[in-house]
Structure 1
Amino acid sequence: MGGVADEKLLTKIADAFKELATFVNSQNADVEVASFSRACSLVSPLFGCLGIAFKFAEKDYVAKVHDLAEASKSIQTLESLIDLDVQANTVRKAGSHTRNLLRVKRGLDMVRVLFEQIIVTDGNSLKDPASKAYAQVFAPYHGWAVRKAVSAGMYALPTKQQLLRKLNEDESSAKVQMQHYVTASAPLILYVDKLFSSRELGIDW
């Protein structure tokens, strides 16, 4: 990532998702795989900043965003990406683009809940915000062993101040950018959910 400090990562993330949200909200056109995967890749370093508790998410998320970026070389839109898997009957197959899209969407949702919780939680600990985000988004899909490992890792989370230092932000500027992401990511996450539900694929797998 080189020089996160110079680049104000939270601002870049917020700007990229605001752009996608504007697109989703104002047009009937389909979201491009390339612009979606580019915005998602900006989120990747955040998982690394959260330490061992989210190591599973970092590895999983980064690999799946990379897959979508590769797919964007030959597939134009998220809609056609899912339709190709539907036609090939590979939607739920491990490693399919559609399955990876669902996993990436979950990563975006976890960050959205995490930011929401950081904004409203006083104090310097990230344990409550991170625990709530994990419980809401990932825990329902994880077995006991993974949940236990994540729970143990929560004690090694950075403090809010340490996270902000890594991101080169002060608290007020960070909260502004986090709120931008929360607001902008919501319609995008809903858009992806609708792509699944309109094809009766469900999102709970």
Structure 2
Amino acid sequence: MGSNEADKPLRRIGASFEQLAAVAKQQQPQQPAMAAGDFSRACSNVSVLFGCLGIAFKFAEMDYVAKVNDLLEASKTISTLPSMVELDIQKGTVRQAGSHTRNLLRVKRGIDMVKVLFEQILVTEGNSLKDAASKAYAQVFAPHHGWAIRKAVGAGMYALPSKSQLLKKLNEDGECVLISRTPIYLSCSLHMLLL
């Protein structure tokens, strides 16, 4: 019995961000208003990727999941991402830890990390994830982390699964991923949404 699309996290992630990108294209450029709930649900699909990367990204996974859950909860009363940010601006809490705006920024960084990671996976030779993950971490998270966290993540890079192990955890094979180009769709969709 073949596996269905629900068993393929990369395809589910790609499809959810493609839908968001389609909605974003249809919106008026001067008044973009991404639905907070739709965005948060799409982002919740990404957490499985952090879980598959092992100990090096365990804290990123926990932080990402907590921030997405906050956005999901907030979306019950705040309909769009711009209105979520505007509310924090009015309250003067944009930079406050735990604010929806700050949580949105953290989720964006998590999405950026996944985007860069898959871009690196596609251009990096061999079966190791270490170089791809190290470059992605250095580009996205390292500028915002202190020395101790950077060192801990660096040590954890040696515990990363191989590319083939990652694809197996994601119920994908390399050929299927490269043919479907799900990471490319994810990358393009994310780029469009997050500019």
The TM-score, its normalising length taken from structure 1, stands at: 0.89
Q: Which residue of 2 aligns with 1:194?
A: none
Q: Which moved more, 1:124-133 or 1:18-27?
A: 18-27
Among residues 64, 87, 95, which one is paired with 2:90 in the alignment? 87
Contact in 2 for aligned 1:34/1:76 (Cα 8 Å): yes
**Number of matched residues?**
188
CA root-mean-square deviation: 1.4
- CA shift digits 1:88-111 (9 cap, x unpaired): 000011100000000000000000
Contact 2:8/2:171 (CA < 8 Å) preserved in 1? yes
The ranges of structure 1 where at least 4 consecutive aligned residues each deviate by more than 3 angstroms after the TM superposition are 3-6
Would the alpha carbon gap of residues 8 and 126 (structure 1) be closer, same or farther in structure 2, given more than 3 Å must change?
Answer: same
Q: Deviations over 1:28-84 (max 9, x none)?
A: 241000000000000001101000010111010000000000000000000000000
Identity of aligned residues (%): 63
Give the Å deviation of 1:189.
1.3
- Equivalent residue, structure 2, for 1:52: 55
Measured in 2, the distance between the counterparts of 1:185 and 1:172 equals 23
User: Which residue does the alignment assign to 2:111?
Assistant: 108
- Give the aligned residue type for 2:19: E
1:182 aligns with 2:187: yes
Aligned partner of residue 123 in structure 1, secondary structure: coil
In structure 1, runs of 5+ residues without a counterpart are: 191-205
User: Is 1:162 paired with 2:170?
Assistant: no
Deviations 1:113-149 (A, max 9, x none): 0000001111100001000000000000000000000
C-alpha distance in 2, partners of 1:6/1:78?
27
**1:35 aligned counterpart, secondary structure:** helix
Aligned partners of 2:27 and 2:152: how far apart in 1?
43
Unaligned runs of 5+ in 2: none
Asked if the contact 1:5/1:168 (under 8 Å) is kept, the reply is: no
Matched ranges for 1:133-152 at <5 A: 133-152=136-155
How far off is 1:4 after superposition? 9.9
1:62 maps onto 2:65 in alignment: yes
In structure 2, what is the Cα distance between the partners aligned to 1:80 and 1:6? 32
Q: Which amino acid aligns with 1:180?
A: Y
SS at the partner of 2:45?
helix
For the residues of structure 1 that align with 2:64 and 2:4, how far apart are their CA atoms? 19
Measure the CA separation in 2 of the matches of 1:10 and 1:149.
27
Higher deviation after alignment, 164-173 or 78-87 = 164-173
Q: What is the TM-score with the length of structure 2 in the denominator?
A: 0.93
Whether the 8 Å CA contact 1:5–1:166 is kept in 2: the answer is no
